Amino acid sequence: MPDCPIPFAGSQVDFAELHRSEAKLAELQAESRASTILLHKGQVASDGPQLLRAAPAQVAALPLYDPGLIFLGFEGDGDPVFAASLRDDSLLPPDALIDLRLQGHRLAADALALAGRARSIFDWHRTHPFCAQCGQATVSSEGGAKRVCGACETEHFPRVNPVVIFLIEHEDSVLLGRGHGWPPGFYSALAGFVSPGETIEEAASREGLEEVGAVLSGHRYLFCQPWPFPSQLMIGLVSQARDKRVTIDKKELEDARWFSRADVSAVFSKTGEAFMRPPRTTIAHQLLKAWLGSASG
């Protein structure tokens, strides 16, 4: 297991599923302890390691992207926390906005988890303005927890896409791949979406065979990570390869290579440059770190 909370996970917020009537939300917005975190086009406003906050009433009066204020839940001793996506970033202090994918490590763990949840929900609202049942416009309901079609009354809820991400292991080495256009030297664990009718183990076996020709078995689950780009659940495994033969699908990967435990250890201790280490906010980083710390590899 990782020696620190998985980035974007570990939120201490109570999602408050039973406190989302219109009357209750209006009451919560008016509370003196209520606050709103601020986003703009997927970036989040920060104040050092914490998130920049404003009063809900102040934010509600500003030009906002649909669906306006969303209710994230209760934090701390029951303090209501909302989020809003601003249309005009000039209303924020200079350099307040950060890219969560590139700069998320600057935030405290709880702030990163809260920002990731907000980003995922806003992305879902942005891409689901119409009903999948009848094609008519939908509107936000219950503080952003769902969208409802005004024509057929179908309810739509935010979706999370399961992705299996796996280290391929043989003896005391791991196989890592790199996608087309990645930064020079960057390698990571292989990953792929779970298809309908598959278990996570079957998805890893299929992806391993398709992308690098690896015959996999003995899949071992380690941990998972919410990944808000836009809204995945990254399910981390270590998978055993039958041998070290590699056949790369060049449509999927630019390259794939085996790295020894010594290679990986040197990269993480910054004494070697066999590959570029995945960022700390990624589950690939945590998987490699956990693999290094395992007794048997």
Which is more confidently placed, 296 or 149? 149
Question: In which band, very low, low, confident or very high, does the pLDDT at 4 lie, cut at 50, 70 and 90?
Answer: low
pLDDT above 90 covers a percentage of the chain that reads 94
Asked if residue 241 has pLDDT above 80, the reply is yes
Question: In which band, very low, low, confident or very high, does the pLDDT at 1 lie, cut at 50, 70 and 90?
Answer: very low
For residue 173, how many other CB atoms are within 10 A of its CB? 19
Tell me which H or E stretch contains 176: strand 173-178
* Strand 232-241 versus strand 216-227 pairing type: antiparallel
Answer yes or no: are the C-beta atoms of 35 and 81 closer than 8 Å: yes
**How many whole angstroms separate alpha carbon 145 and alpha carbon 82?**
12
Residue 5: its pLDDT value, please? 74
Task: Specify the length of the chain in residues.
Answer: 297
For all residues of the chain together, what is the average pLDDT?
95
Q: Output the six-digit token pair for 262.
A: 């010594």
**For the residues 190-209, what does the mean pLDDT come to?**
98
For residue 218, how many other CB atoms are within 10 A of its CB? 12
Asked whether the bond before 226 is cis by omega within 30 degrees of 0, the reply is: no
Q: What stretches of the chain show up as alpha helix (H) in DSSP?
A: 22-29, 56-60, 100-103, 109-127, 200-212, 261-268, 283-293
**How many whole angstroms separate alpha carbon 146 and alpha carbon 271?**
49
Residue 296: its pLDDT value, please? 44
Question: In which band, very low, low, confident or very high, does the pLDDT at 81 lie, cut at 50, 70 and 90?
Answer: very high
Structure letter (DSSP) for residue 156: E
What digits encode the pLDDT tens for the residues 12-25? Answer: 899 999 999 999 99
What digits encode the pLDDT tens for the residues 28-50? Answer: 999 999 999 999 999 999 999 99
* Strand 161-170 versus strand 232-241 pairing type: parallel
What digits encode the pLDDT tens for the residues 110-119? Answer: 999 999 999 9
